[in-house]
Amino acid sequence: MNYRVDNLQYCNWSKEIFEINHEAKLDAVHATICYHEDFDELKTNIAQWKNYFKEFSSLIFQGFNSQDIEKAKLEKKTAIFYGLQNCSPIEDNIEYVEVLKDLGILFMQLTYNNQSLLATGCYEKRDTGITRMGREVIKEMNRVKMIIDMSHSAEFSTLEAIKFSEQPIVVSHANPLFWHEGLRNKSDNILKALNESGGMIGFSLYPHHLKGSSNCSLQSFCEMIADTTKRISIKQIGIGSDLCINHPDSIVEWMRNGTWTKTKDFGEGTADNAGFPPQPSWFEDARGFENLYKGLRDTGFSEEETHDILGNNWYNFYKKFD
């Protein structure tokens, strides 16, 4: 059995998006349900998702473990797994980690772009690594089987998270720094550490992470994946598209600025190009998975390897946290 998994989306959720994911034959999607929200605000987001599951029950349901990916395949639906792109909902209370896991949160980033109570974000000039609270939260996440995600974290913090965690961690949506020097892309040192610890990286289709941005070619992207397998096992790579489709540009402004600044921050954009960049023509939405399949095969990956990259590897990783 082959599975298709997109391990990071943050779309403007609607019937249209769920139908697109269904047409793309996605068995599972790791959906971001928090960027800057506190605990109470997160509960409001979860309530909205409960409504989605009721209204669109023919297309989606909430996923909790690998068995739900199997169920989604059999029922021709998409299992939605909750993830947080920031640790803000735990506030300064470690007890909230288990509460969040009980609510169905499977992934939590220790930081977004800034310094958090747990670790250093990738936009900070100084990376002081995992904090005292961060070490305790890592232990607690390990205990309750919540997956640590370091996609937006700085280099030293990411390496320390790998070191301190007894469970493998993920970089759910980023690309290698050797291919494109994006602020969030990851070094060979991180790829090596992920490889040695059993962690995973999900390749991002967000244009600021791509060589050539929106003009990145399918061939270049797939050749990058081939080059990455020289640094990390082919069994430890997947897709985390970081699709943010159908959102107004005001959302990316909120993602970058939250409530922490009065000075407009453009992230990896610019004042002249502040909105969401257009997706590459071959991956405008999740239906681009079919182009990825063709591109990977053309690049020389076998049928089995291609299916592993497009979902089987994520399925096997999820099984470790059942």
Dig out the tokens for 229 from the structure: 């397998």
CATH number of the domain bearing residue 229: 3.20.20.140
Mean pLDDT of the chain: 95
How large is the average pLDDT for residues 143-149? 98
Distance CA 192, CA 189 (A): 5
147 in Cβ contact with 321 (< 8 Å): yes
The contacts of residue 57 (CB under 8 Å, 6+ apart) are none
How large is the average pLDDT for residues 262-282? 74
Dig out the tokens for 317 from the structure: 């990783």
16 closest CA partner among 286, 282, 313? 286
pLDDT digits 0-9 by tens, 289-319:
999 999 999 999 999 999 999 999 999 999 9
pLDDT digits 0-9 by tens, 32-58:
999 999 999 999 999 999 999 999 999
- 279-290 burial code (b ≥16 CB/10 A, e <16): bbebbebbebbb
pLDDT digits 0-9 by tens, 122-135:
999 999 999 999 99
pLDDT attached to residue 254: 63
Question: Does residue 89 register a pLDDT over 70?
Answer: yes
Q: What percent of the chain has pLDDT over 70?
A: 95
Dig out the tokens for 61 from the structure: 């349901």
216 closest CA partner among 253, 182, 250? 182
162 in Cβ contact with 248 (< 8 Å): no
Confidence band (pLDDT; 50, 70, 90) for 188?
Answer: very high
Distance CA 303, CA 9 (A): 25
57-61, 267-271, 276-280: least confidently modelled range: 267-271
The amino acid occupying position 182 is G
pLDDT digits 0-9 by tens, 208-229:
999 999 999 999 999 999 999 9
Distance CA 154, CA 240 (A): 18
Q: Which residues in 10-145 belong to E strands, given as ranges?
A: 28-32, 60-62, 78-84, 105-109
In total, how many domains does the chain have?
A: 1
289 in Cβ contact with 23 (< 8 Å): no
3-state class of 162 per DSSP?
helix
Label residue 137 exposed, middle or buried (CB < 10 Å: 0-12, 13-18, 19+). Answer: buried
The amino acid occupying position 167 is Q
152 closest CA partner among 122, 119, 117, 192? 122
Distance CA 259, CA 137 (A): 24
The amino acid occupying position 63 is G
Distance CA 203, CA 239 (A): 5
Distance CA 27, CA 318 (A): 13
Residue ranges in 89-154 assigned as alpha helix (H)? 95-102, 132-144
Distance CA 4, CA 210 (A): 22
| Pairing label, strands 60-62, 78-84 | parallel
Q: Residue 59: which domain range?
A: 5-319
Torsion of CA 195, 200, 206, 211, to 10 degrees: 20
CA 170 to chain centre: 8
